Chains A and B, each alone.
Chain A
Amino acid sequence: MAGVLGGLPDSVLQFTYLVASVLFIQGLRDMTHPRTATRGNATSAAGMFLAVVVTVLWFEILSPVVLAAGLLVGGTVGVWLAVTVETTEMPQLVGLFNGFGGGASALVAGAELIDVLGSSTQLSIGLTTTAAIAGIIGSVTFWGSLVAAGKLHGVVGDSPVSPNAGHALKALFLLLSVLAGLLLIVRPDIFGQVPVTSWIPSYWVLVAAASVLGVFLVVPIGGADMPVVIALLNSYSGLAAATTGFVLNNTVLIIAGTLVGASGLILTVIMCESMNRSLRNVLFGGLGGETESEEMDDIYEGQITETSPEEVVMLMETAQRVVIVPGYGMAVAQAQHAVAELVELLDEDGVDVEFGIHPVAGRMPGHMNALLAEADVPYEKMRELEEVNPTFSQTDLVIVTGANDVVNPKANTDDSSPIAGMPVLNVSEARSVVVNKRSLSPGFSGIPNPLFAKDNTSMLFGDAKESMQALVNQYKEATS
């Protein structure tokens, strides 16, 4: 059992894995600052390259063609997807990649189980237990991520079953997969003395049940909660890799997988906190999506002031401080370049202009920041909620584009509201607020937004990109 380097002592392999682990950790450390982050990513990639090369050279490869073909196909598809993706489609791509990692872990655990069963009659409890866990987490990650990516891409709709039936189905399939796992671990004597190999199908039952579970877990979760789901699945894919590391006794798999598990979990917690909701509520509760149209008419009736790009530009010309609040609508409309141009124009004219970014704006953690960075917005201009909220009272003009729930004052004022207690951007403290939206339709939470009816708020109806472009053109005309 030896490859090209197989003659060397085992410690050489282990040492190389240690080096790779250090590179991963150092790579993540460099991610703490935008200036060093690119280097961090490269460091991490170098660790991966090193670990893969030493593995390929170390172990005996009986079917090098299969291996080379797999690497080539995977590499080509990976490059193609990465090169062709639009920044707005990034969340679903990250979700998809995630799923592939989890799926691979489940398959590796299965293949290893088959391998070991084929060559020995004794199975250690450690192996079967960790294989069962890797199988469950990996399968849930794979199918959950596919569904999440599908929902983000708009090809998967909402759950066809009622929430209660959904909960029952989730419980059923979780039970099924755990039972199959227990059968694999305990192998009770119910069928008489059967050879260990005949227990293999149990693993595939486990994988099948966990797959269904993964689908049912994610299908009922709404689009605005996707940042949480993507982060959580990210964590799962890491945990799947770590458990596969237990199956294979591979140190670097455990370390790297655990790092990812921790990272995903922390992001999940941050996302939940910024919505003031528990993870349980996000995963199993869901907001009551029913819109109370009567209440909405009451609030909006006669209170809505519509504005035009000309009027907004007049506000901009007299403003000393402008804050722009982007939301998912900006991403959908691909308006980030127009917004960036507007900010640049204002900046050149000496206006203090910044972005106020809510942590859950968009469809994944940091989504708005990534989009604005793509449009060459300096990252110093992107302010987090805690930083920007105290400045609104000194702000002349706030332009909200494609955001709704994250600027809804009901979160502060109405305890019965589904978004009660969620930290929001208190834009109405500014002298005037312009909300750019396509219509008065509610955001994900399904509740009306009293901000729109405020005296200092005016509505600029229209697609985010067209509206922002109109503002740019109008501003250029007015100031030239």
Chain B
Amino acid sequence: MALIENLTLFVLAAFVGYEIITKIPTNLHTPLMSGANAISGITLLGSVVVAGSGSTTLATVLGFVAVVMATINVVGGYLVSHFMLAQFSQGGRD
């Protein structure tokens, strides 16, 4: 049953995503991309679980590499979007 529940979530989330993203103006597409990009680093959760469980050396090594990559994605993605958006709001005040 888990598969069906997961599929339900997937479909509903796709509709929510569509509704929100189509409302975002072209101006903000670059920060949106890097922000969405950072969200895709959510796979970090999975990386944390596999890296930490340490059942086999191979799984631990894979998990470690995955944690490094996903953390770069998350931290870098949010920071880059933040810097960009800070410039947008500055420009807006002028």
A residues near B (Cβ < 8 Å) are 24-25, 27-29, 31-35, 37-38, 40-42, 44-45, 48, 51-52, 55-56, 59-64, 66-67, 69-71, 73-75, 77-79, 81-83, 85, 87, 90, 93-94, 97-98, 100-105, 107-108, 110-112, 114-115, 118-119, 126, 230-231, 234, 237-238, 240-242, 244-264, 266-267, 270, 357, 359, 364-367, 369-370, 372-374, 376-380, 382, 384
With A64-B52, A263-B36, A364-B33 as known contacts, state yes or no: A78 contacts B73, CB within 8 Å.
Answer: yes
A261/B17 in contact, CB under 8 A: yes
CA–CA, A41 and B21, complex, Å: 14
Contact string against A for B residues 51-94, beta-carbon threshold 8 Å, 1 for contact and 0 otherwise: 11111101110111111111111111111111111111111111
Point out the residues of chain A lying under 8 angstroms from B45, CB to CB: 51-52, 55, 250, 252-253
Point out the residues of chain B lying under 8 angstroms from A27, CB to CB: 35
Max chain B Cβ within 10 angstroms of own Cβ: one of A38, A70, A119: A70
Contact string against A for B residues 2-28, beta-carbon threshold 8 Å, 1 for contact and 0 otherwise: 110010011001101110111111111
Identify which of A70, A82, A369, A380 contacts B75 (C-beta below 8 A). A82
Point out the residues of chain B lying under 8 angstroms from A119, CB to CB: 55
Point out the residues of chain A lying under 8 angstroms from B76, CB to CB: 77-79, 81-82, 93, 97
> What 16 additional pairs, Cβ within 8 angstroms, besides A56-B48, A101-B40, A260-B36?
A45-B82, A73-B68, A94-B34, A97-B37, A97-B76, A98-B37, A100-B41, A100-B69, A107-B63, A114-B56, A241-B42, A251-B9, A254-B10, A255-B13, A262-B14, A366-B28
A104/B28 in contact, CB under 8 A: no
B21/A28 in contact, CB under 8 A: yes
Identify which of B27, B64, B72 contacts A100 (C-beta below 8 A). B72
A111/B50 in contact, CB under 8 A: yes
With A59-B52, A70-B71, A74-B67 as known contacts, state yes or no: A255 contacts B36, CB within 8 Å.
Answer: no
In the complex, which residue of chain B has the Cβ closest to the Cβ of A46?
B78
Point out the residues of chain A lying under 8 angstroms from B38, CB to CB: 44-45, 48, 97
B55/A115 in contact, CB under 8 A: yes
A379/B17 in contact, CB under 8 A: no
The minimal Cβ–Cβ distance linking A299 to chain B, given in whole angstroms, is: 32
CA–CA, A186 and B8, complex, Å: 25
A37/B43 in contact, CB under 8 A: no
B43/A370 in contact, CB under 8 A: no
B36/A244 in contact, CB under 8 A: no
How many B residues touch A, CB cutoff 8 Å?
83
A41/B39 in contact, CB under 8 A: no
CA–CA, A237 and B38, complex, Å: 10
B78/A45 in contact, CB under 8 A: yes
B27/A382 in contact, CB under 8 A: yes
CA–CA, A56 and B65, complex, Å: 17
Identify which of A35, A63, A258 contacts B60 (C-beta below 8 A). A63
Max chain A Cβ within 10 angstroms of own Cβ: one of B22, B33, B56, B78: B33
CA–CA, A81 and B47, complex, Å: 21
A42/B66 in contact, CB under 8 A: no
10 A/B residue pairs, CB under 8 Å, sorted by A: A28-B35, A34-B28, A41-B78, A55-B49, A74-B72, A97-B41, A112-B50, A266-B17, A267-B32, A267-B33
Point out the residues of chain B lying under 8 angstroms from A270, CB to CB: 26, 29
Point out the residues of chain A lying under 8 angstroms from B90, CB to CB: 373, 376
Point out the residues of chain A lying under 8 angstroms from B46, CB to CB: 104-105, 108, 112, 244-245, 247-248, 250, 253
A25/B16 in contact, CB under 8 A: yes
CA–CA, A215 and B55, complex, Å: 32
The minimal Cβ–Cβ distance linking A342 to chain B, given in whole angstroms, is: 15
The minimal Cβ–Cβ distance linking A207 to chain B, given in whole angstroms, is: 11
Max chain B Cβ within 10 angstroms of own Cβ: one of A24, A51, A373: A373
B20/A90 in contact, CB under 8 A: no
B6/A245 in contact, CB under 8 A: yes
CA–CA, A376 and B84, complex, Å: 11
Identify which of B64, B86, B89 contacts A70 (C-beta below 8 A). B64
With A38-B86, A108-B46, A266-B18 as known contacts, state yes or no: A48 contacts B6, CB within 8 Å.
Answer: no
Max chain A Cβ within 10 angstroms of own Cβ: one of B44, B65, B89: B44
Q: Which 7 A-B pairs have the closest CB atoms?
A: A74-B71, A262-B17, A70-B67, A366-B29, A78-B75, A78-B76, A82-B79
Point out the residues of chain B lying under 8 angstroms from A105, CB to CB: 43, 46
